[in-house]
Structure 1
Amino acid sequence: MTSSEISALFRRFSTIRVGVIGDFALDLYFTLQTQTGEQSLETGRDVFWGSQPRASLGAAGNVVQNLMALGVSTCHVAGCVGNDLFGREMQNLFGALGVHTQQLHVPDSGWDTCVYTKPNLNGQEANRIDFGIANTLSDTLFTDLMAGLERLLTQLDVLIINQQFANPLLNKHRITALNELMARFPKVRFLADMRDVGTLVRGATLKVNTKELADFLAIDAPDSDDLDWCIRHGNAFRAQSKGPLLITRGPAGILYLDDDEQQLVDGLTLPGELDTVGAGDTVVATWAACLGAGATPAQALHIANMAAAVTVQKLHQTGTASLSEILALHDTYHSND
């Protein structure tokens, strides 16, 4: 694709309507200092110091902020957030982005906002303290969530489904209800990124990495990148799932498999230190935006690959990619085209 073709596609992003349902979280970054020389007067234990705290949308929330960075102007979220200080910050971040949160439920009790803490100790991520991992969604609230999603689907071009946690919003007992709902909206494009229950999804393109694909098939992942392995086992998985498959292969690129189409894009050789946190979310958001805007799978792969390359070069943050950053990278690698 040329720079002008990429820009033209991005202009169409402002016209599409995207929804995201799933596990929303907050990433809480801060610098940690453990050798302070201070002890608590109350407990006598060492006191650690934190500084430079900043919050970023994580998990399904990172998909949302990637969509907005790409220029998608209409984004709806469906899920749960706690009635706590982290939940209020998440709502504030969504509000700043202009995200529609009418289907973001706040349970009366029993739901902690999901948080991944990211303490930076001497340039490395120290032990995390996570919140919301033991959440359990009631059947009543799930029914309300599905009713709201059904109303929302009448307005959407694309729905992204995210499952992140061990006790997720969408577990294996609830995927059937979601599959049945999706089947009633054939004009909506569905894209799923599901860590544990991807084998049960029907009617959606499923995004996996090579390890997730191996786990779903209960086989060993390849020791190194192996395209033949990805094609062979990707098609074996598709025989069960009956849907398209998007396989991210780390620095080797991305593979797309469907009934009558196979597309491959090689990864870009990037200099310096890289941070792969959130790169899969960037691929999901970019793929969804491209297909919602009418791009072909080959075009979507090309842009998603560059968007991920932008993201992984952003260190110690949950990165996103914008049109200007993607065009700059495109010009660097295609200056002689």
Structure 2
Amino acid sequence: MPKSAASSAKSANSLVAAVRQLRRGTVLVVGDVMLDRYVYGRVSRVSPEAPVPVLAVERELALPGGAGNVVRNLTALGAAVAFVSVVGDDQPGSDLTGLIGGQPRVEPWLLVQGGRATTTKTRFVASGQHLMRADHEQASPIHPRLADRLVRIATDAVAATSVVVLSDYQKGVLSGDVAARIIAAARTAGRPVVVEPKGGELARFTGADLIVPEAEALATATGLPVGTEAELAAACIALKHTYKLGAVLVPRGPDGLTLVHGQDEVLHLRAEASDQHDPAGASDAVVAVLAASLAAGLKLVTAAELAAVAITIVTRKAGIAVVRDDELIEAMTPGLNAKRKMVTVAYAAEMVERWRHRGWRIGLLHLSEGGGEAWSSALMEEARGWCDRLLVAVGGGGGINMADWPMVDLLAECTGQSNEALLRLFRPDILVHGPAAVPLGLDDENLLAEWGGRLCRPEHPQAA
């Protein structure tokens, strides 16, 4: 093996070993939580009342957003989390309490302020495109007495965790001197503080160990240009000295990230290039990976290297998504492309939702056990031509040879499940049928038609 290849393999193995340590971390997250709602549907006509599209709603989804998305990412990495935030005494606040409390390894402290509106962002989506977003929020500072209680709870939680994350979306939780008091408590306890600021006055975070601003916020805070890597590094150094910060890390989307640490050492890390890029939630994933890494005792440079891999993963996903520890490992392990396609039914359902969010036409081929041998790559290529993404479901590992075929996007291992069950779970646009496919039930085509799906066969490329 050439020296460069050996070095690369050694580095990848070292990072994989680092990922496996993330589950040891315990992290305190304090910040602005919000409810992210998604309303999905189809647009087929314009309203007669005004020149606007009519969205025929098909489904809705609610997720914790803001600091809540940092929590989601931390739990996806396997870390334990204590979460302190504020919600209103309204239905969105109640919904958030249930969503946060239902996550594994999370100890939530969601304080309620009477008369305050819980921040809620509702996105209306059709064919993978956002039609509009409606926001309900009250961004004023939380009540002083509630702020005192929040600081007391956070101070107590500092002792039980290894790293503190301050996630500031400028919705009022970390306003005034709240952030400074929590940073002081963390310093007293010897706990590092990671800050995720969404704009605003950064002086509140003076003395933090690591701050993760976006490039635009960095430029605003320093008054310096950030158009090139050299300019970005200079702005990071200026910010670091101005606010007595331990380090500054700036995520740069598909370009990777820039880290300034120690004695103003500069590190530019690249993300893997991709023709798909969705920046939503990327900084939350980066902050979570950094915090989980530091909580597990990893060095900052190693944490940054893992964060660069996380950027590659999360920006390839549609919408506000999370990065899991197994995804980090797979991304850094050569030769796992075929294995990566072989997933559980539950994971396949998650991937299908991401595909649908991008507006892609989804095809499903449900094969009987051992049925993969009846299909040639030519037949599969024909089936792939009817859709943007093709999911093959097969029992007993009978389609393992298909994992290497580029026309198969995902291979789900399932045994004994009916077409009806998989149709209801995946809601494909195209149901592929042909050799060794599971026989169709009496109502399968009617069920498929409920959401405008079609049945296609290799011997008849058009809709059956």
Assess same fold via TM > 0.5.
yes
The one of 201, 204, 227 equivalent to 2:205 is 201
Deviation at 1:180, TM superposition (A): 3.0
Give the corresponding residue for 2:343: none
**Which structure exhibits the higher relative contact order, with contacts defined as CA atoms closer than 8 Å and separated by 6 or more residues?**
1
Q: Which amino acid aligns with 1:92?
A: G
Give the corresponding residue for 2:146: 141
Q: Deviations over 1:228-249 (max 9, x none)?
A: 1011121111111111111222
Q: Secondary structure at the match of 1:129?
A: strand
- 32 and 182 in structure 1: CA distance in 2 versus 1, 3 angstrom threshold: same
Distance 1:309 1:333 in 2: 18
Q: Secondary structure at the match of 2:34?
A: strand
Distance 1:101 1:221 in 2: 39
Contact 1:171 1:197 in 2 (8 A): no
Give the corresponding residue for 2:222: 217
TM-score (norm 1): 0.87
Distance 1:333 1:326 in 2: 14
Q: Which amino acid aligns with 1:185?
A: A
Distance 1:173 1:281 in 2: 23
Distance 2:168 2:105 in 1: 20
Give the corresponding residue for 1:11: 20
Contact 2:38 2:61 in 1 (8 A): yes
Give the corresponding residue for 1:321: 323
The one of 183, 187, 203 equivalent to 1:183 is 187
- 328 and 156 in structure 1: CA distance in 2 versus 1, 3 angstrom threshold: same
Deviation at 1:3, TM superposition (A): 4.8
Deviation at 1:99, TM superposition (A): 4.7
Give the corresponding residue for 1:245: 248
Matched, 1:50 2:57: yes
Q: Deviations over 1:40-66 (max 9, x none)?
A: 9xxxx9975422100112110110000
Question: After the TM superposition, which parts of structure 1 deviate over 4 Å for at least 4 consecutive aligned residues?
Answer: 1-4, 32-40, 45-48, 332-335
Deviation at 1:250, TM superposition (A): 2.4
Give the corresponding residue for 2:309: 306
The more displaced of 231-240 and 4-13 is 4-13
Matched, 1:93 2:99: yes
* Structure 2 runs not aligned, ≥5 long: 1-9, 338-464
Contact 1:263 1:298 in 2 (8 A): no
Specify the structure having the higher radius of gyration (Cα). Answer: 2
Aligned residue runs from structure 1 range 66-77, under 5 A:
66-72=73-79, 74-77=80-83
Matched, 1:277 2:280: yes
Q: Identity across aligned pairs (percent)?
A: 22
Aligned residue runs from structure 1 range 217-236, under 5 A:
217-222=222-227, 226-236=228-238
The more displaced of 250-259 and 62-71 is 250-259
Q: Deviations over 1:270-299 (max 9, x none)?
A: 333221100011100001111111112221
Matched, 1:113 2:118: yes
TM-score (norm 2): 0.64
The one of 135, 154, 158 equivalent to 1:153 is 158
Contact 1:19 1:76 in 2 (8 A): yes
